């Protein structure tokens, strides 16, 4: 799963460098980065991407949705939906690591803000983030 976390971190970093989220509110950045476009398109590509992590991904989605919505709504039989929901969830963990984003939560984001958020995420360790996510899931 650490490789999946790293892929999401890289994707978010690339989008920030492409100014995705410019002129949006900080509180909307996660939606812009992780919910307005697909992380992976295609059933085959999604299966390949998940590889041996498919059951870990499903568990993470079930825990997240049950905790946040009281029910599981993602179609867990569709690999593309699983991957994209997983990327959405991991995206929350990633962006929570940016102190600058937390400071700008209620503000419109500038190019400088996106750069600072990207800098906050540059040193982010996929391994440590995965361990944090696993620890959080075990508490719920």
The domains of the chain are located at: 2-139
State the Cα angle at 91 between 90 and 94, rounded to 5°: 90
Would you state the pLDDT for residue 140? Answer: 55
CB within 8 A of 98, min separation 6: which ones? Answer: 117, 120, 121
- How many angstroms separate the CA atoms of 129 and 126, rounded? 5
Other CB atoms within 10 Å distance of the CB of residue 80: 19
pLDDT digit string, tens, across residues 65-100: 999 999 999 999 999 999 999 999 999 999 999 999
Would you state the pLDDT for residue 128? Answer: 84
Structure pTM?
A: 0.92
Q: Name the residue with tokens 């460098």.
A: 17
Residue 123's pLDDT band (cuts 50, 70, 90): confident
């Amino acid at each position: 799963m650490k490789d999946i976390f790293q892929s999401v971190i890289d994707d978010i970093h690339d989008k920030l460098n492409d100014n995705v989220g410019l002129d949006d509110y900080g509180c909307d950045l996660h939606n812009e980065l992780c919910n307005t476009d697909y992380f992976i398109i295609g059933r085959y590509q999604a299966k390949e991407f998940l590889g041996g992590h498919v059951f870990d991904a499903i568990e993470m989605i079930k825990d997240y949705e049950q905790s946040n919505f009281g029910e599981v709504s993602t179609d867990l039989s569709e690999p593309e939906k699983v991957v994209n929901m997983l990327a959405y969830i991991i995206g929350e963990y990633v962006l929570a690591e940016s102190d600058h984003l937390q400071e700008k939560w209620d503000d419109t984001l500038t190019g400088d803000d996106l750069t600072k958020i990207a800098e906050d995420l540059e040193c982010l360790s996929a391994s440590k983030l995965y361990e944090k996510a696993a620890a959080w899931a075990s508490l719920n």
